[in-house]
Amino acid sequence: MEQFNWWVIVPVFAALIALRWRRTSMLTWFAAWWIGMFLVVRYGFTVPVPMSVVKLYMGLVTAALVAYVLTDAGRIREVTEPLAAFMTERRYLPYLAAVALFIPAAVAFGIYRDMTRVPQPPSFARTIHPATPAEPIDVHGTSYDLGTADNPYRELEETDPAAFKARVENGRKIYYENCFYCHGDVMAGDGMFAHALNPIPTNFQDPGTIAMLREAFLFWRIAKGGPGLPAEGGPWASAMPAWENFLSEDEMWNVILFLYEFTGHRPRAVELH
Amino acid sequence: MKRKPGVLLIGLGVLAFVATMIGAFRLAVTFDQRLAFHPPISERGEAEEWTPRQEALEQQRQEEEEAARTKPYEEEEYRAFPKVGSRVAIWVVAQLHLLFAAFVLAVPMFAVVIEWIGIRTGDKRYDALAYEFTKLLSVSFSLTATFGAGLTFMLIALYPKFTNYLMHVFSPTFLPYVLLFFAEAGFLYTYYYGWGKFSPKVHLFLGIMLNVVGTGIMVIANAWLTFMMTPNGVSESGALISTWDAVSNYTWMPINIHRLIANVAYGGSVAAAYAAYQFLQAKNDAERAHYDWMGYIGNFVAICGLLPLPFAGYWLASEIYAFSQTMGLTMMGGAFSWLFIIQAVLIGNLFLFANWYLWLGMGRIQGAERFRAFIWPLLTIITICFAIWATPRSIIATTEEVQAMGGSSHPVLGYLGVMSAKNTAVNILILTTYVSFLLYRRSGKIPTVKWAKTGNLAQAIIFALSAATVIGYGIAGYRVDAATRIGFSRPQVGAVLLAMLLVTVIDVLMLRGAKTTDTRWGKIRPLSQYLLIMLAVTFTWLMGLMGYLRSGLRLHWHVFGVVRDTSPDAFTPTLGFATQVVSVTVLIFFGLIGFVFWLAGLSGKESHAGEEAAAHAAHPSPVGFDPSPAGATPMSSAGGSAPAASAATSSRIETS
């Protein structure tokens, strides 16, 4: 629950309920919902939502509000009539003039803000899970076809639980000797070196990472690391070492068993035709 | 008479100006000739002597001629298409061919069903409606064939080696394809021109055969393109082992099913757009009533096709993963994953527009006011589901934003970016759309059975249980392995389909003998018609984008893993470029389909002589609701004349 800014969310919804209770005009209601939703999306989360998603959500909110108003002739009147009155009736002239001045002033301020902002590198959509190479990979002289390869010790889970546990324990030892510096104590991608890296290490607790992937994919990524990432898709810039230079095949398969055991995720199975 | 001195002066001025210009021109020509290079005066023979440069040029020409004469024959792998390149040229033509082909395959499906309803109920309006849909076919069929021929020639000309390879594998399928194409032409034109000329059963049979051969054509063509994605029946070097195995590859049947359903959705939406186009330029209430009804039916067909489409898509995606993990990851987690966000936005729009259209449609039904209160909660659910579906897993973010999030996915919104959330959102979207349709259907009816309250309660409980099942499995999906999670989509879909079935059965039984109110066809805001057009555009755009995705998954392969693409276009274009090509193709398609609409409208208009006669007529007759307002409706296949189906403008048409 600490991931939400309740001091933003609660007042917004309280205000919207109050407006409903007071049976305010449709135009006010429309504006209140739009502003309320913007506040919730932009400031309602402890970790700010990126602007690309804020824009996406606000586009949806706008479309939904417009659809709601345009579905009924009475609602259209309720929205358009006050606007028409504001723009045509003499009594609103000072306010209209204020709006007419405010719009270019706001645009000017926006330009000033953009021009004085510290330059940022351009945003990009980074591909998190690159496609595995179609051709087999070579690790310590063994050829692995990633389309069919699987963890050779996974079956021990059923056939020899004691041996499986020993493998997992070996994986634990390897993880805390090598991986936890970046991937963290609890595999949340927040190890002591993590904040010096960009992109930061993967958070294995996240259900969108290893839970989506087959063990052969992890083996490929661990063995080949950042230098072995394929050209297409990028940009990569990953600091992950190619662990085949430091670990044996057995050690890499063991650490994979430990990753799934520790996080509670299950590896993706091979899809059947 | 007093002379105007100014006129004479102006005349003289013009003459002086013309004379000055001629003089200036003559002077310029004279100077030009004097300044130009003239060879020195000499004997004729000396003037023809060649300079060393001319000699060298002549020698070069002779060498080129000799080289051309002795050049050995070499088979070309690729030829370039000017300006845009071969890939874009093939892409656009193939897409246009496919869009028209999909339309030509789809329309007969629902035209035959509507005709059958007309025969069963004896209501001539259905017959007239089926004919109006069929009117769109003949020109579309010609355009499909034209683009098909263009595609074939361009494949042969631009990709000769690859085309030759496809012929090596699929040559046994070509003759059946051509024969089916002839049969399709025969059935289509007999079905169209034979309207009202055959007995209803014979005519219906022609329509069914048109569908059978059309589907046959699609199934054969699907074998070619799915083989390119998921090749089968060939050796590692590409040598043919079995043509049947090449045909029945991993994705052949999923694509067959997916395209069949998608064609219905897309064809319905384009036909609805035609109705909207006619509605917006209708001249009287009768025309508006007719085209409003037609648009409603087209949209109904489109939504019926849209609802099961995601499930066919899952099957296809699962087969792609089964064939190659690499291809699956490229699709969902790699270079193409962002296309799915665009897809989500477009499909979300389809659901929003479809629901919005139904809500606007309630305006034409007396007594629909009691359901207006449901619009707000339905819209809220749709917006939330839409937002979940469109939430990207890896977000486009600035460096600051990425650092704040601790990665490319947001710690909270990241949970919405995975399959469990998406599956849940789309199932609830489908359920919500069905509720909108149910409310629309019930708008003009008041049940009279004694158990109406119990029936309503049962329907509400079924909906609640279905939604709870979908959400429950969605949450459980976060705690299980990927294979189990994918398996959860089955009970989720099952719960939705079962709920729709049970609620429909209860509704049909409950509304037997219900009091009905008038449906005022044509009394709908023009905005609704623009929604129909937007639905058709969105469907078309979606087809183009997803078609690109399916084809692009092969990356730098013509036939994945077998025939490598070594052309200059052997790279994946950027998403922006791909969307531009697809958008331009969609624009061209709508330009051409606009032409088809215009021609279809022409066939219903009076002849020029008839118009003149009508203009001179002293007493124009009043017009009622005629389902064939353009006056060109054929004799009904049931034997009567379509105008006999005329009724009051506010006639009741049971469409559900």
The structural domains of chain B, with segments of one domain joined by +, span 83-337+520-604+623-647, 366-518
Q: What is the pLDDT of residue B645?
A: 39
For residues B488 and B472, what is the distance between their CA atoms, to the nearest angstrom? Answer: 10
Indicate if A146 and A76 belong to the same structural domain. Answer: no
Query: Domain count of chain A?
Result: 2
- Cβ distance A50 to B396 less than 8 Å, yes or no, reads yes
Domain annotation covers residue A125: no
Q: Of all residues in chain A, what percent carry a pLDDT higher than 70?
A: 94
Cβ neighbors of B205 (< 8 A, separation 6 or more) are none
The alpha carbon of residue A9 is apart from the nearest alpha carbon of chain B, in Å, by 15
Residue of chain A with shortest Cα separation from B342 = A56
Same domain, A144 and A110: no
Average model confidence (pLDDT) across chain A: 89
Structural domain for A221, as ranges? 137-263
Domain finish residue from A86, A116, A146: A116
Q: Name residues of chain B where pLDDT drops below 70.
A: 1-5, 39-48, 334, 604-656
**Cβ pair A120:B399 closer than 8 A:** yes
Residue type, A76: I
Confidence of residue A232 (pLDDT cuts 50, 70, 90): low
Based on the fold, state whether residues A148 and A258 are members of the same structural domain: yes
From the DSSP assignment, how many helices (H) and strands (E) are in chain B? 22, 4
- DSSP-based three-state secondary structure for B252: helix
Residue A243 and residue A162 in one domain: yes
pLDDT value at residue B4: 60
- Tell me, what's the pLDDT at B322? 86
For residue A23, pLDDT over 90 is answered with: no
Instruction: Kindly state whether residues A141 and A220 are assigned to the same domain.
Output: yes
Residue A46 located in a structural domain: yes
Q: How far is A118 from chain B (nearest CA, A)?
A: 11
Q: DSSP labels for B350-401? A: HHHHHHHHHHHHGGGBTTGGGGGGGHHHHHHHHHHHHHHHH--SS--B-HHH
- Chain B residue with CA closest to A72: the answer is B360
The rounded distance, in Å, linking the Cα atoms of A143 and A216 is 12
Same domain, A187 and A248: yes
Q: Is A123 part of a structural domain of the chain?
A: no
- What is the reported pLDDT for B224? 96
Which residues make Cβ contacts (< 8 Å) with residue B466, sequence separation at least 6? B431, B495, B496, B498, B499
Whether A159 and A106 share a structural domain: no
Task: Tell me, yes or no, whether A160 and A227 share the same domain.
Answer: yes
CATH number of the domain encompassing residue A235: 1.10.760
The answer to whether residue A104 is domain-embedded is: yes
Collapsed DSSP state (helix, strand, coil) of residue B234 = strand
Rounded CA-CA distance A44/A47 in Å is 9
Residue of B nearest to A200 (CA): B407
* Coil/strand/helix, residue A45: strand
Digit-coded pLDDT (tens) for A182-211: 999 999 888 999 888 877 888 898 877 888
Contacts of A45 in chain B (CB under 8 A): 410, 412-413
pLDDT for the residue numbered B424: 93
Domain boundary among A69, A84, A116: A116
Task: State how beta strands B563-564 and A137-139 pair.
Answer: unpaired
Domain end among A59, A85, A116: A116
CA pair distance B392, B212, nearest whole angstrom: 41
Cα torsion through B384, B387, B393, B399, rounded to 10: -120
Q: Tell me, yes or no, whether A272 lies in a domain.
A: no
Task: For tokens 């889970």, name the residue.
Answer: A157
| HSE-CB of B312 using CA atoms within 13 angstroms | 18
Nearest Cβ partner of A131 from B330, B391, B403? B330
One domain, residues A12 and A90: yes
Residue A197: its pLDDT value, please? 84
- Search chain A and give the residue with CA nearest B561: A134
8-state DSSP, B240: B
Question: Is residue A62 very low, low, confident or very high in pLDDT (cuts 50, 70, 90)?
Answer: very high
Q: Which residues of A touch B345 (CB under 8 A)?
A: 56
Pair (A159, A232) in one structural domain = yes
Check residue A153 and give its pLDDT. Answer: 94
Residue A132 forms part of a structural domain: no
Residues of B in contact with A9 (CB under 8 A): none
Q: Is the ipTM of this complex over 0.90?
A: no
**Has residue A17 been placed in a domain?**
yes
Q: State whether A153 and A112 are in the same domain.
A: no
Same domain, A150 and A109: no
According to DSSP, the β-strands at B557-559 and B515-516 are unpaired
